[in-house]
Amino acid sequence: MKDEINTLRDKVTDLQCRSMKQNLIFHGIANESRFENTEEKLRNFLYYELGIEDHIEFGNVHRFGRHERGKDRPIVARFLYQSDLLYVKQNAYKLRGSCYSVREQFPQAVEDRRKILYPIMKRHKEAGDTVKLVRDRLYINNRPYVEPRLSDSGAYHNASLVDSPSERRHRLSDAYSDITDVDTPLDDQHDTYSSVARRGSRFRSLAG
């Protein structure tokens, strides 16, 4: 019964991830007001803070979360095209040291897991390893990272990198999965997305 519940929970989380795949969350965009044009405000942010002049196609743009006095809620934007989303993320490194941040949207269960993995990822990157965080799975030098686990004796086994046949299949599948599944903290985004090619000629200038 417990396994069935866990399987169902995993399926729900996966569906939530798929529904959020085209979303980015923008923090720090100030001056929220009741009648603001949120999409226009986001476009101005992209132009002035990220230097993006191309016309981005959005499905929906709005603020979300609980209202708190004196605080501006984040903005979530749904992108119609993956290339638009990647292009914005490619330029997110320009926000380093500012009050702004950009990140992908994930369900809370995935967010909680990623918070645990961030310091581990940072430590391995500083050690010179190649790291990649795919949703809530961490890969170090292209091998899945497995957290320490509690044994029957109460002692923790050491963390390890596994590469069993099943893990290898998952790893290869993830390696060829859509690049929008790949995310890192803001300070690492430039390294991750710098190789993404600039988009084609279908984009129009904001002045157009």
Q: Which residues are CB-neighbours of 171 under 8 A, at least 6 positions away?
A: 139, 142, 143, 144, 163
11 occurs within a structural domain: no
User: Could you give the percent of the chain with pLDDT greater than 70?
Assistant: 71
pLDDT band at 5 (very low <50, low <70, confident <90, very high): confident
pLDDT band at 161 (very low <50, low <70, confident <90, very high): low
Residue 150 clears pLDDT 60, i.e. is over it? no
Among 10-14, 27-31, 72-76, 107-111, where is mean pLDDT lowest?
10-14
Note the pLDDT of residue 99.
Answer: 95
pTM higher than 0.95: no
Residue that finishes a domain, picked among 53, 83, 105: 105
Note the pLDDT of residue 159.
Answer: 53
Q: How many CA atoms lie within 13 A of 66 on its CB side?
A: 1
Q: Assign residue 75 the CATH number of its domain.
A: 3.30.70.1820
Instruction: Please tell me whether residues 126 and 99 are part of one structural domain.
Output: no
Note the pLDDT of residue 4.
Answer: 79
User: Could you give the percent of the chain with pLDDT greater than 90?
Assistant: 48
Residue that finishes a domain, picked among 74, 105, 136: 105
Q: Determine the average pLDDT of the residues in 187-206.
A: 37
Domain hosting residue 167, numbered range? 111-196
Residue that finishes a domain, picked among 71, 105, 139: 105
Report in angstroms the alpha-carbon separations of 183 from 90, 159, 204: 11, 22, 27
153 occurs within a structural domain: yes
31 occurs within a structural domain: yes
Please name the helix (run of DSSP H) or strand (run of DSSP E) that holds residue 167, with its range, or none.
Answer: helix 165-175
Residue 79 clears pLDDT 50, i.e. is over it? yes
16 occurs within a structural domain: no
Residue 175 clears pLDDT 50, i.e. is over it? no
If one compares 76 and 34, the residue with the highest pLDDT of the two is 76
Instruction: Please tell me whether residues 74 and 97 are part of one structural domain.
Output: yes
Residue 8 clears pLDDT 90, i.e. is over it? no
